[in-house]
Chain A
């Protein structure tokens, strides 16, 4: 193919991506809605910071300074991790294991750069087998069981039922030929008993309208971390992580239970030393700094212990 022809094709492709841009009206509404709230948020943020600083000064005058938050932890709970993959594309490493708060779906997630693979095993009530209908648009065979494949050249997934109450889902994104890969990965799913996923963590205070979604253990450069995820009103989410990996500490100084932490507005992340590790509260969505501080001060969480993530 000649260079001019190739360049024209690339131009057409990026313009086609641009044509999928979202409706500006929705963004205008979201931006202006947050703007109107901002004076209140700023005032509230300032009030919390002042209160915390005054409180910390009084506390220091009465005793000493602390450098790490001591967070309590609930008893650890365990969930079986019974399935694995006999085949993975080269370069993938397991990044995290998680379970939904109702305990019904256990996920294992592997990454390679931006590429991602997930295996989700869910306990269902038996009526959901209707999702996989014979003759549907992209039915695939998963070791003798009918599976339904969705996807394109960027993301794909296969869903099938092992039995009436066990639903499997394999997802692949940002890798070569995900529609092919996802089927090969699905066919490689095998019983593979692992150490149970044990997590000792639960949210305390959450912003109004928010709800916990999942908890799990992740791999970091310094060892395993514990994390919790919640959804926020308006399509946002909140992620709390207790990690041994020292994070970036840029940002304004904020006190959490009297301990100096940092808040980066750019990154939407509140960070404070806790339990000999680092507590990070990260949010995308409409959440104020006081709400982030409240989440950090009330979360109950213990360091993770997972050999696979070491």
Chain B
């Protein structure tokens, strides 16, 4: 498969996957672009693999987990409208506190490895063993990541329900 064919077939799913990991379409695009630029340099080698798409997807996972924090702590240059744009892209302005909105925000706040484990489980339907292989950790660690993430998300839901009752 040529690199251009790979892009045509797999780019959209890769961007969707990266967006679930990052919860931020802009960051997802940056990550996928960086990964593809590296992948195309070694495309002859990657194309020979049984599942090139799985290999590139793992590159996206690794890139997400190692993404530098500096951009978030030093973005002194954020123009005035950026926050508004981000909000417009990601918020339901009519929301009170419903479960879906609470979970959307809660997933975005999870630590990266917990979020990756949740995405691999509930978006990619992977088993513990497959997630462990993707994240290069033990199955026990995967179960721990998912358990902690689920606890946090359930706590978010409970807190949201309390706020709703107060209203």
Q: Which residues of A contact B (CB under 8 A)?
A: 1, 6-7, 9-22, 24, 26-28, 30-31, 34-35, 38, 95-96, 98, 100, 105, 107, 109, 111, 113-114, 116, 137, 150-155, 157, 171, 173-176, 213-214, 216, 218, 227, 229, 231, 237, 239, 265-267, 282, 284
Contact = CB atoms under 8 A, between A and B. Distances in A.
Interface residues of B, number: 60
Interface string B63-76: 00000111111101
B69 A114 contact: yes
B64 to A, nearest CB: 13
Interface in B13-47: 15-20, 23, 25-26, 28-30, 32-33, 36-38, 40-41
B105 interface: yes
Nearest to B103: A13
Contacts of B76: 98, 100, 105, 107, 109, 213-214, 216, 229
A98 B91 CA distance: 30
A2 to B, nearest CB: 12
B108 interface: yes
B66 to A, nearest CB: 8
A6 B150 CA distance: 9
B123 A18 contact: yes
B105 A21 contact: no
B30 to A, nearest CB: 7
B143 interface: no
Contacts of B87: 150-152, 155
Interface string B101-142: 111111111011000001100110000000000000000000
A27 B89 contact: no
B58 interface: no
B60 interface: no
A146 to B, nearest CB: 17
Contact of B20 (A17, A113, A266): A17
A26 B17 CA distance: 17
A153 B105 contact: yes
A27 B34 CA distance: 10
A216 B30 CA distance: 25
A153 B101 contact: yes
Nearest to B123: A14
Residue with the greatest number of chain A CB neighbours at <10 A, chosen from B89, B119, B122? B122
Contact of A30 (B12, B33, B83): B33
Interface in B75-89: 76-77, 83-84, 86-87, 89
Nearest to B93: A137
B99 interface: yes
10 contacts: A20-B25, A27-B11, A31-B37, A100-B76, A137-B93, A155-B86, A155-B87, A229-B76, A237-B71, A282-B70
Contacts of A12: 100, 103
B107 A13 contact: yes
Given A214-B77, A227-B74, A9 B25 contact: no
Contacts of B29: 22, 26-27
Contacts of B38: 265-266
Contacts of A266: 38
Given A22-B28, A109-B73, A174-B108, A35 B40 contact: yes
Contacts of A28: 7, 11
Contact of B83 (A11, A14, A109, A150): A150
Given A21-B28, A31-B40, A14 B20 contact: yes
A114 B25 contact: no
A152 B105 CA distance: 8
B73 A95 contact: yes
Given A9-B100, A14-B20, A24 B11 contact: yes
A275 B47 CA distance: 46
B90 interface: yes
Given A27-B32, A31-B37, A114 B103 contact: no
B72 A173 contact: yes
Task: Find the residue from B28, B83, B112, B157 having the highest chain A CB count within 10 A.
Answer: B83
A12 B20 CA distance: 11
A152 B90 contact: yes
B141 to A, nearest CB: 19
A11 B104 CA distance: 10
